[in-house]
Amino acid sequence: MRRPRTDRTTRKQRKSSFSVDYRRRKICRFCENKIDVIDYKDERMIRRFVSDRGKIIPRRISGSCARHQRQLTVAIKRGRHLGLLPYTSESFR
């Protein structure tokens, strides 16, 4: 049988009370510049959101909002399909 817990806090809560990490919230680059539509033909801008291995950089790292991250994903996939962006990097081919 399990022993009843006397302390009701979880491990995550206990850990967070010891180390306080204040990070500045990332602001969506597209909302800041008032860009409504992300164009797949703007290769230079889209390459910022693709890693060196060819993976799409996640939203928590890039700082873009959910709406623009979805548009960015579609634009990257269209650019890959048309040959503007590589599926993988040159060293992995």
Spell out the long-range contacts of 21-30 with Cβ–Cβ below 8 A and sequence spacing 24 or more: 26/62, 26/63, 27/63, 28/63, 28/64, 28/65, 28/68, 29/62, 29/63, 29/64, 30/64, 30/65, 30/68, 30/71
7-18: per-residue pLDDT in tens?
Answer: 666 655 555 555
- Name the residue ranges covered by the structural domains of the chain: 40-93
Residue 35 has pLDDT above 80, yes or no: yes
pLDDT at 88: 87
Residue 3 has pLDDT above 80, yes or no: no
- Alpha carbon of 66 to those of 10, 28, 48, 75, 91: distances in Å? 30, 9, 17, 14, 31
15-30: per-residue pLDDT in tens?
Answer: 555 566 677 778 899 9
* 3.40.1050.10, 1.10.10.10, 4.10.640.10, 3.40.190.150: CATH of 40-93: 4.10.640.10
59-92: per-residue pLDDT in tens?
Answer: 999 999 999 999 999 999 999 999 999 888 776 6
